[in-house]
């Protein structure tokens, strides 16, 4: 196996053996057919599914991070639209708020909106949970940092929807907490070359899913 991390500063070198996969906002309402479609999200789903399965098969932690728009606890930039549409986007309990087919374990329950909105993680597998975030970053007003610390995670691998918003904010907040940072570049929508270069400036290591899977299986 070639070492994708050759030449990296030791403080930036990912430790995939002690990593967690954070899957961001892969919900039906944000796919190509949803009311708030994000271009490219459907296209990254096959690679993302492969990555999730690799983490699951390796018994490494996975956190699916979701949006649920309930009341006025909404980003200012979307508050008017959500109020106008009566929370038609990612409405708690709706089909659109659910994680897209194929990413959760086959026997996973539907999202428990009341549990998630209360700030708890919802277990959906042996090493897998769902977490609600009220804003862009998965660390903002959530228990994610405490959850990862309890699992002795020091590296986060971020993937999902939609790089310039929630994955990017999550990576910046993870950087401020001294996590080592990886972006699954071909499993994240809107991850353009200029945006990847911006992320690399704070220590993010972009990797294709095929290389990530090779390293995860070897850990």
- Residues 10-59: tens digit of each pLDDT: 999 999 999 999 999 999 999 998 988 999 999 999 999 999 999 999 99
pTM, two decimal places: 0.96
Residue with tokens 């390293």: 215
> Could you give the CA distance from residue 68 to residue 97 in angstroms, rounded to a whole number?
7
> Could you give the CA distance from residue 126 to residue 25 in angstroms, rounded to a whole number?
21
Contact 41, 161 (CB under 8 A): yes
> Tell me: the pLDDT tens digits for 164-202?
999 999 999 999 999 999 999 999 999 999 999 999 999
Q: How many CB atoms lie within 10 A of CB 43?
A: 11
Residue with tokens 């972006």: 183
pLDDT for 3 beyond 80? no
Please state, for a pLDDT cut of 90, what percent of the chain lies above it. 87
**Burial group, residue 171, by CB count within 10 angstroms (0-12, 13-18, 19+):** buried
What structural domains does the chain harbor?
16-218 (3.40.50.850)
pLDDT reported for residue 86: 64
Contact 153, 18 (CB under 8 A): yes
The larger pLDDT score, comparing residue 15 to residue 78, is at 15
pLDDT reported for residue 5: 83
pLDDT reported for residue 85: 63
pLDDT for 1 beyond 50? no
pLDDT reported for residue 83: 82
Residue 2 pLDDT grade (very low, low, confident, very high; cuts 50, 70, 90): very low
Name every residue whose Cβ is closer than 8 Å to that of residue 54 and which is 6 or more positions away in sequence. 212, 213, 216, 217
pLDDT for 4 beyond 80? no
pLDDT reported for residue 64: 98
Closest CA to 169 of 209, 139, 190, 126: 139
Residue 206 sits at φ, ψ, to 5 deg, of: -75, 135
By 3-state DSSP, what share of the chain in percent is helix, strand and coil, each rounded to 5?
35, 20, 45
E strands, the chain, are 19-24, 62-66, 122-125, 128-132, 155-160, 180-188, 204-207
pLDDT for 132 beyond 70? yes
> Could you give the CA distance from residue 205 to residue 195 in angstroms, rounded to a whole number?
12
Name every residue whose Cβ is closer than 8 Å to that of residue 116 and which is 6 or more positions away in sequence. 66, 68, 122, 130, 131, 132
Task: Output the average pLDDT for the chain.
Answer: 94
pLDDT for 117 beyond 60? yes
The three-state secondary structure class of 106 is coil
pLDDT for 69 beyond 50? yes
Ranking 74-78, 145-149, 206-210 by mean pLDDT, the lowest is: 74-78
């Amino acid at each position: 196996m070639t070492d994708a991390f050759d030449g990296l500063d030791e403080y930036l070198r990912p430790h995939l053996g002690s990593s967690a996969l954070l899957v961001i906002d892969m919900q039906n309402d944000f796919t190509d057919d949803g009311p708030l479609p994000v271009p490219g999200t459907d296209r990254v789903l096959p690679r993302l599914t492969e990555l999730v399965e690799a983490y699951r098969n390796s018994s490494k932690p996975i956190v699916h991070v979701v949006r649920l728009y309930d009341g006025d606890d909404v980003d200012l930039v979307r508050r008017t639209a959500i109020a106008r549409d009566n929370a038609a986007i990612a409405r708690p309990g709706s089909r659109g708020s659910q994680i897209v087919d194929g990413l959760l374990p086959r026997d996973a329950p539907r999202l428990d909106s009341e549990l998630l909105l209360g700030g708890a993680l919802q277990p959906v597998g042996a090493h897998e949970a769902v977490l609600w975030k009220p804003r862009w970053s998965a660390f903002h007003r959530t228990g994610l940092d405490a959850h990862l610390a309890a699992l002795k995670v020091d590296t986060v691998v971020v993937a999902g929807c939609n790089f310039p918003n929630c994955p990017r904010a999550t990576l910046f907040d993870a950087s401020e907490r001294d996590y080592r940072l990886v972006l699954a570049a071909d499993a994240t929508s809107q991850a353009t070359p200029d945006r990847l270069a911006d992320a690399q400036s704070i220590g993010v290591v972009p990797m294709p899913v095929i290389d990530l899977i090779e390293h995860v299986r070897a850990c």
